[in-house]
Each structure stands twice: as structure tokens, then as C-alpha cells.
Chain A
Amino acid sequence: DQQVKQNSPSLSVQEGRISILNCDYTNSMFDYFLWYKKYPAEGPTFLISISSIKDKNEDGRFTVFLNKSAKHLSLHIVPSQPGDSAVYFCAAFDKAAGNKLTFGGGTRVLVKP
């Protein structure tokens, strides 16, 4: 039972354009949603999060949007830079179910110069 899904395994975008990564979830009890960025041979690094009571959070070039009724969130990166090329994981946190993150399968982003 995959509670968090990233249906696009890969995304290719031109430098300077917008990257949009999507994530769907099934568990309405999730309290927080997070995006992690992962380079090869490294651990995931935290990028941005959003509380379930918000619908938008912005941090520099990164914006996360949450649509609770659709159980959908997205990460916008604008403008995209070559250093953004990495695998991006969506994750969700349900405090009542224990302090663990449930991850999506990841989306590999390639930003072409």
C-alpha cells in the first residue's frame, strides 16, 4: 500500500525554466509534507516543508503547494539551475502514527544548460 506516490519517475527541463514535481497521497492524517533532494552517493537533504493546515510555502526559488481536497502537493523550482539536477523525494509525516516519514518513489530531475 503506497501512501505517497510520485507518478513521474523523471523530468527534464531547460535551465531558467520552471520545474514542477508532483506528489499524491492517500492518508488524510498526515501532518506535514516535506521535499528532500538527493544527489548520488549522498543522503537526502531537506529542502522545504509544509504543514497540513497551509496551502503554500515559499523559500527562495522553491515553492510547495498543498491541495488537501485532492490529496496532492507539488514543488515548483523557478528558475531551474543545473545544480538542481538530482532525485527529489516527497515525504509525509503522521505524528500520531509514530515519528516516521513515508516517502514517495522519487523523481529524477535533469536541468539542461
Chain B
Amino acid sequence: QKEVEQNSGPLSVPEGAIASLNCTYSDRGSQSFFWYRQYSGKSPELIMSIYSNGDKEDGRFTAQLNKASQYVSLLIRDSQPSDSATYLCAVTSGGGADGLTFGKGTHLIIQP
């Protein structure tokens, strides 16, 4: 049974600071890793994908992958109140077209 673990939070971060979200996964065969953002009452929206070890940056977001430690993280720089949401980590054994295994999500609150 594939498992994805996240701290459910809430994680409270002051506006302008760096928010750090973490995720671990159980299946060593996992190949593709995703971070989705979900606002309350809305559907998940993809914000980052990462496929190889190391860092991947996109604007204020940086995803980090360490396959040896089975660990994925998401850093949000210069956090804004609009970043307040639940962040879902998802993994799959194949490419992005495979069905995703999600964690429970981390509830992030950016305090103005």
C-alpha cells in the first residue's frame, strides 16, 4: 500500500517569511512528485512538479526532492496571505498521467 505522509498542521507563518512544507512517501519506486494547492471548497490546482533529485524553482516556489530519503518539500518565499490554503503532496510510480497517491495535506496559514 503506497503511503504519502504530511503534517496536517495548521502551519502558521508570518507574511513575507518562508513557508516550508514537507512530505515523505513509502514507495521507493515512485518517479513523479507533485504539489497541489487547494483552497477551501475548491478543487486541487497543480503548482509544482519534480522528477529528479535536487531543487526546482518556479517564481516564489521551490520544490526539493531526495529520493534516497524518500522526502519531498515545498518552500514558499515571501509568503502572502493569498498563499493560505491546504497543500497536497502527490506521487506516482510512472509519469504524470498515472493515478496520483495524495497525502492528507498541510493547512498553511499566512498571518498578515
Pair from one complex: no
